[in-house]
């Protein structure tokens, strides 16, 4: 997690910086990929404000808390972020549908012989990008395909490596 902590109308203190970093590390267990976190700690009269923005996989999650103590503001904003991240992850999992993977040796009594089985299942995050960006991503990864949301048509597309070495593009007809 890449963390950027900014102080506004308050002296920069290592204690606040360390406390914020320690509390932010709690969010790591909910975030799959490297994320950027921007924290702004500010004081206006007696109001201590903690403003945290998390950029996780292209999704911006923001939380703000104002209290009379900076440490409690940090605690409250982290708790609020944790709830928002959990809610976002549950929403993503709900949209993907509930398919159950059948692994070798597990629950094979209901599967007919010769019927294909799902051997491995993985969550896949669909990012909005152009076809050119998807081709570049494809060249940088070891995978044989990439699923993305085409920014020009706003549809889900698939680019895959063909057996002849070229790339194939699948666009749905709607």
**Cα–Cα distance for residue pair 108/121, rounded to 1 Å:** 16
Q: What is the pLDDT of residues 56-115, one digit of tens each?
A: 767 788 889 999 999 999 999 999 988 888 887 777 776 554 444 444 444 445 555 556
- Examine the domain organization and report whether 11 and 78 are in the same domain: yes
Q: Indicate whether this model's pTM tops 0.95.
A: no
For residues 50 and 52, what is the distance between their CA atoms, to the nearest angstrom?
Answer: 7
- Is 81 inside any structural domain? yes
Both 71 and 156 in one domain: the answer is no
The answer to whether 114 touches 63, Cβ cutoff 8 Å, is: no
Q: In this structure, are residues 147 and 158 in contact, taking their beta carbons and an 8 Å threshold?
A: yes
pLDDT at 105: 45
Regarding whether 131 and 49 lie in a shared domain, the answer is: no
- Residue range(s) defining the domain that contains residue 77: 2-96
Provide the pLDDT for residue 98. Answer: 44
Q: Domain holding 160: CATH number?
A: 3.30.505.50
Strand order in the sheet with 59-67: 2-8, 36-44, 47-56, 59-67
| Number of structural domains in the chain | 2
């Amino acid at each position: 997690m890449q963390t950027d902590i900014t102080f506004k109308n308050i002296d920069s203190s290592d204690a606040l910086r360390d406390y914020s970093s320690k509390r932010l590390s709690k969010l790591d267990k909910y975030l799959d990929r490297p994320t950027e976190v921007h924290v702004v700690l500010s004081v206006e009269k007696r109001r201590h404000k903690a403003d945290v923005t998390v950029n996780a996989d292209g999704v911006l999650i923001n939380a703000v808390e104002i209290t009379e103590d900076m440490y409690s503001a940090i605690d409250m904003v982290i708790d609020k972020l944790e709830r928002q991240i959990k809610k976002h992850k549950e929403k993503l999992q709900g949209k993907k549908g509930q398919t159950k993977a059948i692994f070798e040796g597990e629950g094979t009594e209901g599967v007919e012989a010769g019927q294909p089985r799902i051997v491995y299942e993985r969550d896949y995050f669909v990012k909005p990008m152009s076809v050119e960006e998807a081709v570049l991503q494809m060249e940088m990864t070891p995978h044989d395909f990439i699923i993305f949301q085409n920014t020009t048509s706003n549809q889900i597309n698939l680019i895959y490596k063909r057996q002849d070495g070229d790339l194939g593009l699948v666009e749905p007809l709607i």
